[in-house]
Amino acid sequence: AQRVTQPEKLLSVFKGAPVELKCNYSYSGSPELFWYVQYSRQRLQLLLRHISRESIKGFTADLNKGETSFHLKKPFAQEEDSAMYYCALSDSGAGSYQLTFGKGTKLSVIP
Amino acid sequence: GAGVSQSPSNKVTEKGKDVELRCDPISGHTALYWYRQSLGQGLEFLIYFQGNSAPDKSGLPSDRFSAERTGGSVSTLTIQRTQQEDSAVYLCASSLEGGPPQFFGPGTRLTVL
């Protein structure tokens, strides 16, 4: 069975400090990984996907198949990054994005 | 429209009653998803629509749950004979042409007494 683990429920960092939100997964097939974000009083939305290999709002994430990880990183945290972040996985060959979500990490950036 | 909309925002019902939850996706988005989030649980996939058809309904937890989509737009999730374990926030999401869920709606909080 596929599983996504986000080991930290809450992560607090100071403004300007580097951020790393951890995500580990277990899946026997060929996974596609995503990060979703939910800002306060806003809706959940897609932040980035590993196949795009792009930086969104300064965030990047690299899929490490050896370590089965997809950590989200940003070199310098901003106050507006404070939000709930969810890591998610789908089977890239399934044809439907039936995502398995982690339970989320709340990022708090301290001014 | 401003985004995915869902109605009602809150629904309280008695055990055994039927409920209907509605989702209006972003105009032009052909893919529509239903997820739910129970207390202490992560988001669980329920069903995926591409246009009006549902190629993946594997997440529906029982035959009390059904969903339809008409005109490639509005979708309705129906739960028959509700049980207390159905209490959750039901989220709808849409995306262009079958991509991953891109934008979620605000959700419907269902409480079964």
CA distance to partner chain B, nearest, from residue A46 (Å): 5
Which among B52, B45, B104, B103 is positioned nearest to A97, based on CA atoms?
Answer: B45
Q: Where are the domains of chain A?
A: 3-110
The enclosing domain of B63 has a CATH number of 2.60.40.10
pLDDT at A1 over 80: no
Mean pLDDT of chain B: 93
A102 part of contact set with chain B, CB < 8 Å: yes
Say whether pLDDT at A91 is over 80. no
Q: Across the A/B interface, how many CB contacts are shorter than 8 Å?
A: 60
Residue B111 lies in a domain: no
Cβ distance of A46 and B102 shorter than 8 Å: yes
Q: Do B55 and A95 touch (CB under 8 A)?
A: yes
Tell me the CATH number for domain A3-110. 2.60.40.10
Q: Whole domain around residue B99: which residue ranges?
A: 5-106
Tens digits of residue pLDDT in A22-41: 999 998 878 889 999 999 99
Asked whether the beta carbons of residue A34 and residue B99 sit closer than 8 angstroms, the reply is no
Instruction: Please report whether residue B113 resides in a domain.
Output: no
* Count of domains observed in chain B: 1
Give the residue on B whose Cα is nearest the Cα of A5.
B42
Condensed to tens digits (0 to 9), the pLDDT of residues B80-90 reads 999 999 999 99
Q: Do the domain assignments include residue B112?
A: no
Tokens 């409480």, located at residue: B111
Q: Give yes or no for a contact between B67 and B76, defined as CB atoms under 8 angstroms apart.
A: yes
pLDDT of residue A85: 97
Amino acid identity, position B51:
G
The pLDDT of residue B1 is above 60: no
In whole angstroms, what is the distance from residue B34 CA to residue B38 CA?
13
Task: Decide: B106 and B9 in contact? Cβ < 8 Å.
Answer: yes
Which is more confidently placed, B102 or A8? Answer: A8
Q: And the tokens for A90?
A: 């789908």
Q: Determine the distance from the C-alpha atom of residue B85 to the mean position of all C-alpha atoms in its chain, rounded to a whole number.
A: 16
